[in-house]
Chains A and B, each alone.
Chain A
Amino acid sequence: MQKCERCTSPATVHITEVLGEGKFEEHHVCEQCYPKYLHDSADLGQGAKALTSDSGGSELEEALFGQQECPDCGIKFVDFRNNHRLGCSRDYDVFRNELIPLLENIHGETRHVGKTPRRYPQTKQAEAEMLQLRQRIKRAVDREDYEEAARLRDQIKTQEDV
């Protein structure tokens, strides 16, 4: 039985990647490693190459900016480089300078022209309010004011049910 190319378990998933120019690439992985395989290559397609290729920036720049952290989710750009996933939607702002060239690489474009949520303007406001409420809850819990925290939680509940 064929072994997984990433560990020693038997390979149960066999993938034929079509690379173009008549080239194919065979991969054999186990169920456990398959999700990781997907992360690293398959569903990224071209993107994977763009992600791993150098997307601008010298080592010095990396040292200077790669350490910047998202205040919401706490990831650094190097974390994104390592696991190819962003931590939260704010990262698109925080790492904008690094991400824009990458997007250009992957999509050939850097501006959305598709669908827009119909209630987008209201959403934005509700979103900001919600974020504020969540922060107030956190502060209330930090100072052990559980009554206030509970009150704010109820407020979120009623807002969410609108």
Chain B
Amino acid sequence: MPWVEFVNVVKRFSDVTAVNNVSFSIEKHDFFTLLGPSGCGKTTTLRLIAGLEIPDDGKIFIADQDVTYKLPKERNVAMVFQNYALYPHMTVRENISYPLVVRKIPKGEIEKRVRFVAESLQISQLLDRYPQQISGGQQQRVALARAMIQTPTVFLLDEPLSNLDAKLRLEARSFLKHLYTELGTAVVYVTHDQAEAMALSTKIAVMDNGCIKQIGSPKEIYNEPANIFVASFIGNPPMNIIPCKISDRHFLVGEQRLQLPIPLTELEEDAYLGIRPENIQIVTAQGDLRAQIFVIEPLGVETIITFNVDSFQLKCLAFEDDIPYKPGDMIWIRFRRDKIHIFDKDGNRIQGSETCDSH
């Protein structure tokens, strides 16, 4: 049996369907991330697990128990809210121990556990301060501590890094990944940041508009996106998606004919070609497509080069130190043969590089 399971869960808010027939299962060792743009229903999904919302349809199981209509406190979950929800009228110590206090755990035991989590989160020196008196990063750790002290069946984290500034966020992310190994139980994590999802998760569910578009490991999501939505949501810069026609076993990109035969014959006319920026190369000899350089943005390690092909704009990532071109130059580009994705006209992936490769 899975540790947490959603079966055809639906949640509506008057006229909005925030969660639309969602099913997934999470194992006890999973770091499960709900990833998607703002407003796609991630928080609602998390709140459904916590019991802060009751589904209109479907079932929810936690640790083999049907908890669909159970109260939050009967579910034994711990949640970190997006704004942390640290009680401003309690000290850090009181905040952390609150879940144990309301469960009437003996004082000595509480004291011991507070000391333990405070130490493992490196916030021992803050215990007697008030939440307003500590920094955002520290607040986030206190919120984590309040969750960790409970030995819950599952941890729920709602965009815990989104309130931190960029530098702190990277640090906190590493720390969170390290922490996960100590938690020893499933984590459900909500974020709109694909890099966070990739870095932390064992399993990602990409959501859009209340529906799950794909579930898989970060690798699967990255390498075999099930549709254009997932493909263009993951990666930075995201995957280039080029609308094209297929005729005579070749792609037509605008006026140009891609110098790459495809092995499938039953393809429809209209399709999309997907290629990640790092899989495009600028070549001196004749390549796949003719392109004109639009801008070059050096970022240190890598350089983003944007070019126009016909009426489309593609981005490519180059890792050389010197780019011997300037905007306006006409160049040839080449796609890495084993990294091409083909999507049908509804946006679903019909073929990846696997078959292309065999050609």
Check if A and B associate: no
